[in-house]
Amino acid sequence: MKWFNSQSRLVQLILLLIPGVNWAVEVFVRVSALLEKPNAEHILGFVLSLFGLIFGYVDFIWVLLFNHLILAK
């Protein structure tokens, strides 16, 4: 999660916009957040990221508006 948050906003948005990369970034960031601080919010974020690209596009909009992933602040 620290790696993703340290990237520029443009790089974050590009990573979340590309379909295959979107899913991989979602899973990577969610697993790192879960290992860093395991709580119910991070577990829910990880489970939702496994469901595919739609959650990634929701995260794209969330990052655009709030500058962090949903359920991973």
As a whole number, mean pLDDT of residues 12-21 equals 86
Instruction: Assess whether pLDDT exceeds 80 at residue 53.
Output: no
Q: Are residues 16 and 59 in contact, defined by beta-carbon separation less than 8 angstroms?
A: yes
**pLDDT tens, position by position, 20-51:** 888 888 888 889 988 998 899 888 888 888 87
Listed range (14-18, 37-41, 45-49, 52-56) with the worst mean pLDDT: 52-56
Residue 71 lies in a domain: no
As a whole number, mean pLDDT of residues 8-17 equals 89
Residue 13 lies in a domain: yes
In this prediction, residue 65 carries a pLDDT of 92
DSSP readout, 34-72? HHHS--HHHHHHHHHHHT-HHHHHHHHHHHHHHSS-TT-
Instruction: Give the total number of structural domains in the chain.
Output: 1
User: Which one-letter DSSP state was computed for residue 12?
Assistant: H
